Structure formats: structure tokens, C-alpha cells
A and B are shown apart, each in its own frame.
Chain A
Amino acid sequence: MRLRQYYPITMLKILKYSFYDLMRSRWSYVYFAFYLLLGTVLLFLNNDLSKAVITLMNVIIVLVPLIGTIFGVMYYYNSKEFTELLLAQPLKRSSIFLGQYLGVVLSLTMSLILGLGIPFVFYGLFESSAIWDFSLLLITGAFLTLIFTALAFNIALSNENKIKGFGYAILLWLFLAVIYDGLFLMTLIMFEDYPLDKVSLFGTMLNPIDLSRTLILLKLDISALLGYTGAVFKQFFGTSFGLIVSFVMLTVWVVMPVLRIVFKSKNKDF
């Protein structure tokens, strides 16, 4: 590879390189094919766009974080040699890592959007009222990819040992997808004598998977069901205030790990 050509190399160039590299790899296609199959089968079985969107939500909030985490860690370790080569060049460290990170995110998001989008479009998404729910689903999916890939890069940057890195990555996913909700539920039940609506809203904000789940559920007309519990929920979920706060929190969840990537990569001794 003729690196001299990229001498005043920018983050965008690295992004482009990572992206093309991933596009050539088998995994992007497997990921794309998986979503394509999932979308088609769901529509085939459900015969109803809005029902399919709900089922899809269950899949997205579990699988997108898992794939983002594993893929992120895997990509970092696999391209380690190339990264070290790049580090030898007069390039800004942050642009190297951010470029790689965005490359991974871009290819994963593209697989997700195209894989799910194509069957839904053919099924008549644009004439359906489910288009907003579906778009929200894809936006949330994109956010989850951004968040979990960033977290994966953080783990990989902090762990030289591949096995340890993978282990932590899986643990992170398991914690946020399952264990967190268990602890959350225990806490709510333990303190059931106290007013809990604010606590439970706060608890939801602290976990991007829970946050995405409530965000989508809100749009799927379950807001009234959530409103059953009291005025605070109703005020939060019944208005666009809840939507805005949720999106702000998701953005915070992206920005924090990305900042750590920048910070960590600057100080790391390769």
C-alpha cells in the first residue's frame, strides 16, 4: 500500500480506507444478509408492518449492541498491525482511531439500514403509517451501533490481551442487556414503598439499551400503558419532552466513549 500518497492524511481518508476494507470483508455481507433475511421472514410471517416493527424492536435492542461490540473489538485487534504502521507516520493519533471507529460504524449501520430497509420498502413502507416508527427504529439502531462500537474500541484500547478484550466486551453486553435490568428490577421491588417514578426514569437513562427500548415503546403507543403508573411518567412520556431528553442522553452516550477513545489513544504507549 502506497501510504505516501496520503501524506496530509485526514481522518476521512482513514475512515474511507477502513470502510472499503470492511466492505471487502465477508462479515459485512453476513451481517447484511442476516438483516435482509430477518426483515423478509418477519414480514412474511406477520403480514402486518406495525406488528413486524415491534418484533424487530426486540431483535434490534439485543442484537445490534452485541454485534457492534463484537465487531468493534474484532476489527481493532485484526487491524492492529496496520494501525501500528499508521502510527509510525506523522499522523494525528485521534484521526487514526476515530477514522477506524467511524469506518466500522458506517459499514455496520449501512448493513442494518439496507438489510432491514429493502424488504420493508418492497413491502410498501412508504404507503404505510409505520414509516415513522420504522425510521425511529433505524435511528435507534444507528445510535446503538455508535455507542457499542465506541465502547468496544475503549475495551480493546485498554486491553492488549485479545481474550481478555473479548471477555470484557461480552460481559459489557451481557451487563447492559440483561444484568442491569435484573438489578434495576430488584431495586424497584425492594424500594416499592417509596415513590419510584423519578428513580426509574433516571435508571433508564443510565443504560443505552433501556433508553432505546423505552424510546421505541413510546412511539408504539404504549405510552398510555406507561402512563398508568402516574403523573411523572405521563408527563415525561406523553410529551415530546421525553423524546428530546432521550435523544440528548443517547448523544451523551456516544460522546463520552468517543472522548475516551481520543484521550486514551493520545496517552497510550504502543
Chain B
Amino acid sequence: MKQVITVLLFVFVTNANLAQSIEVCKTCPISTLKDGIAQAKDFDTIIVKKGLYKEYNISVNKPVKIIGIDYPVIDGELKGEIITVISDNVTIDGLNIINVGNSYIEDYAALRIKNSKHFLIQNLILEKLFFGIYIEKSRDGKIFHNKIIGEAIEEYNSGNGIQLWYSKNIHIEHNFVQRVRDGIYLEFSDDCLIKNNVSALNVRYGLHFMFSNDDTYEDNIFENNGAGVAVMFSRRIKMYRNIFKENWGTASYGLLLKEINDGQIEGNTFSNNTIGINVEGSNRINYKNNTFENNGWAIKVKGACYANIFTENNFLYNSFDIAYNSKVNDNEFDKNYWSSYTGYDLDKNGIGDIPYRPVKLFSYIVNRTPETIILLRSMFIDIIDFSEKVSPVFTPDDLLDNNPKMQRLTW
């Protein structure tokens, strides 16, 4: 027993000895972050006091905690990458990193994590950046509560806020990203969780998936981006309770699905987008309990979409509910609420007695000749829409919601 206690005590004391803390400030013996890292041993804590540190190419090559007090400013002076982490178990907390170098050859980032595991990045403020947080071939990390504020104007000379490349199992939560190219970008990254983030005013996409599988994003807000979220060439992506709004503009949309299979889209809100969801070549996706409100097009289906199921969604006051560009339909619409449904419910079971046709003739015409949109809400258009509704000629005649709800759905 005594021996056990001695061993435990020994472990405790040596650990306490190991985990020292090193202070970095302008008037301390150690006055730069680079110096601090060089002096630190494994598992030390480096405390950076408030001040301006003009440094770049800082390499974190050992498992340390870097903690900023009152947001010290790390100024890269536009010379290149600022912090590069190449070790496991690194924590970076509370820094204000500014002035990342711009380059057309290399992707300079404010903070790059390279080949590492179990990192924690939190409470950072990144400004005047090219790329923000760049995670490269890493796994099991957490990115929490960061604020990334870019000044991007053009796509070709700006970088992404948070970028994941060949990474696995990363949690991205409570971040705020604005005015960069893509707010959050995942490429070849699987099993990630993206939650409670706000991505706004970005030049391209709020959130962008490429070749990434089994990821989940939920409770995020995507507002006023070039386009809200683009999910491309990915499988089994789950999208829950996100808000996509005000993605207005020429060919802009809330959510783009391109070559997506087996996804789940549930509880999201799409409001005031030119196109709510733009679907191309996507199969076996369940759309459930979503609300589409005041969009130009709620859903635009561009062909090669099979076995998708749309149930219990709300379609409220969209200029067009569904647009199809072909006469073939293999998707199922059931038990949705359509604000433009004009049928009746004689048996009072809450379900309309006549089916609803969500594709209007006019949406077919606009698909063919876009300029005809100028006739939107004209009386002539109402008349031809009505006659098409009675006997479909141009729109898929089996595209029906057989059980349209009479009341807006709540859940």
C-alpha cells in the first residue's frame, strides 16, 4: 500500500514538475511566442500576456498549451503563414491573429494544424486573413468559439475561414465566420460534426463539402452568402435544423446538392432565398419537417434525381414550389403543407381530398425561357397554370402530393 502511494505521489510530483507554465510578455525575459515555444518542454503551458507580437512562421512542434490573456495580438505583417502546429495534443486558446500573407502559390493560413491528433483550438479571433484555420491530415480535434472576420471581395484571391483537408472526426462548434471565400470548407474529410456556427456574408459558400462522407451539420445559420451551403460528391451527410436565409441574387441558392446520395435533411428552414434547394443528381435523400418560406423557388430539381422522399414539409408563399425540367418523376411527395393548395377537406381529417400538383406550368416555361419570368403573377399565367393543373401536358403527371395537409405543420 505504502509503495502504491509512493508511486502515485511520485507520478503526481513529476507531472507537476513537467507541466510548468511559461509566461510571454513584452517586458518578460521571454518576449516572443517563438522563444516561448523553444523554451517550453512537452505539456507545458505558455501564457501569452496582452500585447502586440510581430511574428510569423511560428512552428508549434511539441504538445503545449498556448493560452492568450486578454487577446494578445499576433501580427504576421502580411509575410506568410503565422502559426503551424505539427505536434499532437496542442491547445491554442485566446489569441488574436491578424495580417496573414496573401499568396497565389501557397495557402497561407492564420493557423495550420498538420498531421496531428487531439488538438483544441478555441476563442481565437482571426482578422485580415487569407486562410483562417487550416486542418491538414489531422484527426480528433475540436474547434470551438472562434471568430473569423475576413475582407474577401473576389473568389480568386481569397481563402476559406475554416478548411479541413483529409481530416477525420473534427468537431466545429459555435464559430462565427464572415466575409471569407467559403465559411467552412471540408475536402476529403469524414465523420465531422459542424454545430451551432454562424456563417454569413461569404463570397462563395457558407459551408462547402467536397468528397466528404458521413458528416453532420446541425443548428447552424447561413445568411447572406454567395450561396448558403454546397454539398457536392458526398455521401451520407446529415443536415438538421439549420437556417438558410437571404441568399438572394443571380443563380444563388440556400442549399446546393450535387451528386449526393443517402442524405438526411430534417428540420431546416429556408427563407428568402432565390432558390431554396438546388438538386442535381442526388438520390435516396429524405426531406422531412423542413420549412420553405418566401423563396423564389423552394426546390429546383435538375434531373437525375431518384428515390428522394419529401414528407411533412411546409411550403409557404414561394413564387414556385417545385421546378422540374423533365417529365419523368421518381420522387415521392407526401403529407406536405402547401400554402398555395386550393383544395377542400370534406371529411375533416386534416388532409385535402384532392391531390396537389406542386409543379406549375409557368415554372416549366421559365425553365425553358428564363426571360418569361417578367410575366410572373400575370393573369394570363394564372389562367394557363390553372388549365395545366386540370390536365397536365408539360409537367410530370405523376408528380402529386396525394395527402396535402390543410394546416401548416408544426413539430
Contacts and interface: CB of A to CB of B under 8 A. Distances in A.
A121 B383 CA distance: 33
Interface in B190-246: none
Contact of A234 (B250, B374, B376, B380): B250
Interface residues of A, number: 38
A225 B373 contact: yes
Contacts of A197: 371
Contacts of A179: 380
A181 B379 contact: yes
Nearest to A225: B296
B252 interface: yes
Contacts of A224: 248-250, 252, 274, 296
Contacts of B272: 221
A222 B376 contact: yes
Interface stretch (B104-112, B122-130, B135-143, B362-370): B362-370
A199 to B, nearest CB: 8
A17 interface: no
A217 to B, nearest CB: 6
A196 B249 contact: no
B377 interface: yes
B370 A178 contact: no
A187 to B, nearest CB: 10
B381 interface: yes
A228 interface: yes
A224 B251 CA distance: 9
Contacts of B373: 225-226, 228-229
A200 B374 contact: yes
Nearest to A177: B379
B371 A228 contact: no
A188 interface: yes
Contact of A228 (B251, B378, B379, B380): B251
Nearest to A203: B374
A178 B377 contact: no
Contacts of A222: 296, 319, 376
Contacts of B371: 188, 196-197, 199-200, 229-230, 233
Interface string A162-201: 0000000000000001110110110011001000110111
A189 B376 contact: no
Interface string B358-397: 0000000100111111111111110100000000000000
Contacts of B381: 181, 185
Interface string B338-373: 000000000000000000000000000100111111
A213 interface: yes
A210 B378 CA distance: 8
Interface in A211-266: 213-214, 217, 221-222, 224-230, 233-234
A182 B380 contact: yes
B317 interface: yes
Nearest to B294: A221
The A contact surface, by secondary structure, is helix
A57 interface: yes
A61 B378 CA distance: 9
Nearest to B319: A225
A93 to B, nearest CB: 37
Given A181-B380, A189-B369, A227 B375 contact: no
B250 A228 contact: yes
A228 B374 contact: no
B296 A213 contact: no
Nearest to B339: A51
Contacts of B252: 224
Contact of B376 (A62, A192, A225): A225
A192 B372 CA distance: 10
Contacts of B250: 224, 227-228, 230, 234
A227 B250 CA distance: 5
B365 A185 contact: yes
A181 B369 contact: no
A178 B250 CA distance: 29
A64 to B, nearest CB: 13
A181 B378 CA distance: 7
Contact of B379 (A62, A203, A217, A234): A62
A58 interface: yes
A188 to B, nearest CB: 5
A192 B369 contact: yes
Give the most central of B274, B373, B374, B381: most A CB within 10 Å. Answer: B374
Contact of A189 (B296, B319, B372, B380): B372
Given A192-B368, A225-B296, A201 B380 contact: no
A165 B373 CA distance: 35
A213 B377 contact: yes
Nearest to A229: B370
B374 A178 contact: no
Contact of A185 (B274, B317, B319, B375): B375
A75 B251 CA distance: 50
A111 interface: no
B319 A204 contact: no
A178 B386 CA distance: 14
Contacts of B368: 189, 192
A226 B374 contact: yes
Interface of B: 248-252, 272, 274, 296, 317, 319, 365, 368-381, 383
12 contacts: A178-B379, A178-B380, A185-B375, A192-B369, A201-B374, A203-B374, A210-B378, A217-B377, A221-B248, A224-B248, A227-B249, A228-B251
Given A181-B380, A189-B372, A200-B371, 10 more contacts: A179-B380, A181-B379, A185-B375, A203-B374, A210-B374, A221-B248, A222-B376, A224-B248, A225-B373, A230-B370
